[in-house]
Amino acid sequence: MSSVPILTPNDNSTVNFSYQPGDISWIMTSSALVWLMSPGVGLFYSGLTKSKNALSLIMLSLAASAVVSIQWLLLGYSLTFSSNGNFFIGSLDKALFFHVWDEPSVGSKKIPDLVYSIYQGMFAMPIGPGIHLDGQAP
């Protein structure tokens, strides 16, 4: 079990957290697999509509993922996983990924907060525009 030294931005001292390289690798692999689902869902939705709408549904899925990724970076992670706040919503103490770079995650002390935020951000991305019950796109 090796520990990864981390240089904090506040001072020049080194803080040792027991980050596990295997856990970090698995979380990043899982993030990549979830990221691959976004165009896959776009392909699924394009199969449920007419063929002339296929490209627009795939692009809509990818564009929605880009917009939500920016929102996740700005405020989403802070409102969801901040250590302060109340029962329903967090505070803005980690807005713009402030204090995310130098702390262990809230999910596990074995992975950095930045890796955990990327992993959770993959699930924040939408899975597509939605299909009505009659099988037609909105």
62-118 pLDDT, tens per residue?
Answer: 888 889 899 999 999 999 988 888 888 989 999 998 888 878 888 888 999 999 999
Number of separate domains in the chain: 1
Is 71 inside any structural domain?
Answer: yes
**Domain span holding position 33:** 14-124
Residue 47 lies in a domain: yes
Asked whether residue 89 is domain-assigned, the answer is yes
Could you report the per-residue pLDDT of 117-130, keeping only the tens digit for each?
A: 999 998 887 655 55
**pLDDT at residue 132 in the model:** 47
Residue 136 lies in a domain: no
Cα(50)–Cα(39) distance, integer angstroms: 17
What digits encode the pLDDT tens for the residues 9-52? 455 545 556 889 999 999 999 999 988 887 787 788 888 888 88
- Angle of helix 54-71 relative to helix 37-47, nearest 10 degrees, comes to 150
Domain annotation covers residue 69: yes
- Which of residues 15 and 59 earns the better pLDDT score? 59
